[in-house]
Chains A and B, each alone.
Chain A
Amino acid sequence: MLRIRNLKCYYGRIRAINGVSLSVKPREMVALIGANGAGKSTLLQTICGLLPGWEGDMRYEKEPLSGLRPPEIVRRGISLVPEGRLLFPPMSVLDNLKLGAYLRYRRREQAAINGDLEHVLDLFPVLRERARQPAGTLSGGEQQMLAIGRALMARPRLLLLDEPSMGLAPFLVKLILDILVQLKDDGMTILLVEQNARAALQVADRGYVLENGHIVLDGPADELLADQDVKRAYLGKDYREFYDGRA
């Protein structure tokens, strides 16, 4: 569905992504893990057309993505849930959701949009309760749900998420990831970027490990979870528990 070959991304003259190759198959959930500054956000923003300075080959559904601007990419079915949510705080929850469907209003899909709005509010009932509240007054977990709901309003076929677990309590992380699994079961393709490697690999089918703009490891999620290097570098203090449990 998404195939990236030898991608290089630049901020001015600084190269932040150094020849990354990666692919996501239809109805697959792929986790991209890596430490702070590895280039994960850069990669997602490049896929969405938000960072135009890149080289290499990116194809979505066999069509090259080069030269496309974000509106065209969103229209083709790729939506981003940005890092830090980036909601529109003074606007109501409903207005935030409607903005997610911005490109569809021109195409007279009013009825379909209202249907999708209901669908998103069913998926996140708490958003229905808060529908008229400004987005800025929501709690962290609710804001993340709103950010995901807003991305879904564009009817994506490929959903990109940038650290959706950031700053959330463990039970909320689980709730969000459960929703992603549910979306995947309903046919969504997902590329999930996380620093919370354990949580991400537990729900993903496959994973890639990004370090300093390179992919250093990739494979099925359960193999990565068991990999010694991954454990040492990304599963943090849990590694000891893991190790102790086996010894």
Chain B
Amino acid sequence: MRNILFAVAILLAGLGISSPYHFQLLTFIGIHTLLALGLNMLMGYAGQISLGHAAFYGIGAYTTAILTAHFNWSPWLALPAALFLAVLIAFLVALPMLKLSGYYLGMGTLGFGMITYVLIREWSGFTGGDSGLVGIPPLEIGPVSLSSGRACFYVVWGTVVLGFIVCERLVNSRVGRALRAIHDSEQAACAMGINTAQLKISVFMLSAFLAALAGFLYAHLVSFISPNTFDFLTSIRIVTMVVIGGMASIWGSLLGATLITLLPEWLHIFSDYEMVVYGLVLMVIMIFLPQGLTRGLLDIYERSKRRAGVPSTTAKG
């Protein structure tokens, strides 16, 4: 139901907006939402941190860019290749890594992110190195080129809706319960007969899949990519979106991605102090809404309803 409303809202927004700037902004929010959604499945639900998530974003983007721009593949053929490669690498990385936990897992994924970034920069014959890779063709459906702002918007947000539906079903299934169980107590989850290692690897692969999908969309919509888009700061930004939006909340991914994408746009007026204000805003949110925006806003809403004297359905009497 909520997803239908969401889809309708997207449809109307696409019709109502005309400014290319707004389309571009919203398209980036959508791509970031996919990234945050994937990481939220891993961090929020399974409780495993990844500080190298931009690597999968980059693998998705560069795989499709190289295949289409250098080898003239159709993007629709490059898509499965990019997704497969990212998921395969995620599997190989997860195999030894998910034996680690807590800080060590953070350090391990951080290292993986750094290595991928350096490889992209240094392997300049294919990737163009620091100067980037140009000439990535736009997506096409039959004769229709999806290069207009509105088309990009619809492609990205259509993907986001699909991602939400899939993740929501997953979270409410037995597998979702098992993921949350791992988060709460891995030992107890084991005792229930949950194959925790296998489940952690699977969710790591799922989050890599979504990141690579975001990378694919990014590459074809922007048509130019360079290593800096996939550096350490991007990894951190994705983590921030998840934490700010709300861990273990699918809609929190949307909220977090929106805020983290819009914040720099709004803060331009502070010019030199932009980063200072940016940091302050994040600190204030974490201090006053430690559970993230989603939970925090819901709590405020509940409280105001109670203060207004309207009996609340979830309030404890």
Partner-B contacts on A (CB < 8 A)? 48, 50, 69-71, 73-75, 80, 82, 86-91, 95, 98-100, 102-103, 105-106, 150, 154
Q: Please tell me if the beta carbons of A99 and B191 are within 8 angstroms of each other in the complex.
A: no
Q: Please tell me if the beta carbons of B188 and A102 are within 8 angstroms of each other in the complex.
A: no
Contacts of A90 in B (CB 8 A): 180, 184
A-B contact count (CB 8 A): 61
Give complex CA distance A89, B194 in Å: 17
Write the chain B residue with the least CB distance to A45: B191
Given known contacts A50-B187, A86-B187, is B192 in contact with A91 (CB within 8 Å)? no
Q: Please tell me if the beta carbons of B187 and A88 are within 8 angstroms of each other in the complex.
A: no
* Interface residues in B, total, Cβ within 8 A: 16
Given known contacts A99-B177, A99-B178, is B184 in contact with A48 (CB within 8 Å)? no
Write the chain B residue with the least CB distance to A160: B191
Q: Please tell me if the beta carbons of B191 and A50 are within 8 angstroms of each other in the complex.
A: yes
Q: Please tell me if the beta carbons of B177 and A154 are within 8 angstroms of each other in the complex.
A: no
Give me the 4 closest cross-chain CB pairs, A-B, nearest first: A74-B193, A86-B188, A88-B184, A71-B193
Partner-A contacts on B (CB < 8 A)? 174, 177-178, 180-181, 184-185, 187-195
Contacts of A89 in B (CB 8 A): 184
Q: Please tell me if the beta carbons of A70 and B185 are within 8 angstroms of each other in the complex.
A: no
Cross-interface CB contact of B180 among A69, A73, A91, A106, cutoff 8 Å: A91
Contacts of B187 in A (CB 8 A): 50, 82, 86
Determine how close the nearest CB of chain A comes to the CB of B196; give it in whole angstroms.
9
Give complex CA distance A90, B181 in Å: 9
Q: Please tell me if the beta carbons of A75 and B185 are within 8 angstroms of each other in the complex.
A: no
Determine how close the nearest CB of chain A comes to the CB of B181; give it in whole angstroms.
5
Cross-interface CB contact of A91 among B174, B181, B190, B194, cutoff 8 Å: B181
Give complex CA distance A103, B195 in Å: 10
Q: Please tell me if the beta carbons of A88 and B191 are within 8 angstroms of each other in the complex.
A: no
Determine how close the nearest CB of chain A comes to the CB of B71; give it in whole angstroms.
41
Given known contacts A91-B177, A95-B177, is B192 in contact with A100 (CB within 8 Å)? yes
Determine how close the nearest CB of chain B comes to the CB of A62; give it in whole angstroms.
21
Determine how close the nearest CB of chain B comes to the CB of A45; give it in whole angstroms.
8
Contacts of B189 in A (CB 8 A): 99
Cross-interface CB contact of A88 among B174, B188, B195, cutoff 8 Å: B188
Contacts of B191 in A (CB 8 A): 48, 50, 70, 80, 82, 86
Q: Please tell me if the beta carbons of B190 and A99 are within 8 angstroms of each other in the complex.
A: no
Contacts of B195 in A (CB 8 A): 69, 71
Give complex CA distance A75, B178 in Å: 16
Q: Please tell me if the beta carbons of A102 and B184 are within 8 angstroms of each other in the complex.
A: no
Write the chain B residue with the least CB distance to A90: B184
Give complex CA distance A185, B150 in Å: 69
Q: Please tell me if the beta carbons of A74 and B180 are within 8 angstroms of each other in the complex.
A: no
